[in-house]
Amino acid sequence: MERQQHLIERLHTSSSRLTLGRLANELGVTERTVARDVERLRHSGVPITVVPGRGGGVSIERATPSGRVELDLPEIAALMASLAALGPSASESAASAMRKLTAALRPG
């Protein structure tokens, strides 16, 4: 999960497609591992595009959220449990999300 989060963040910060080889090198894994992670993420709904062949690579859509996301308490708890499971290895995005969720649950 941590590696996949880093993969999403890396794709999001890139202005161009990245090759599996480059991603594998940056993540310290094999190209096959990156390919599996990309497929898992695509299957779960992450908008990742793969362009095969020379000049190809992997990219992520840069869409902005279309509005507020409403979650009920069990959904928030599930997200917080997942983020907490990452522990100190959590990415800055994951840590930021945890801070926002925690703040949203504080009594007003």
Q: How many domains does the chain have?
A: 2
The Cα–Cα gap between 95 and 45 comes to 22
- Asked whether residue 65 is domain-assigned, the answer is no
Same domain, 78 and 38: no
Q: What is the pTM of this model?
A: 0.67
Same domain, 20 and 48: yes
| Residues 44-91: tens digit of each pLDDT | 888 999 999 998 999 998 776 677 888 888 888 888 888 788 777 677
Report helix, strand or coil for 39: helix
Same domain, 25 and 53: yes
- Domain of residue 7 covers 2-60
60 neighbors 12 (Cβ within 8 angstroms): yes
- Asked whether residue 67 is domain-assigned, the answer is no
42 neighbors 48 (Cβ within 8 angstroms): yes
Same domain, 86 and 55: no
Q: CATH number, domain at 41?
A: 1.10.10.10
Return the amino acid letter for 11. Answer: L
Task: List beta partners, residue 51.
Answer: 57
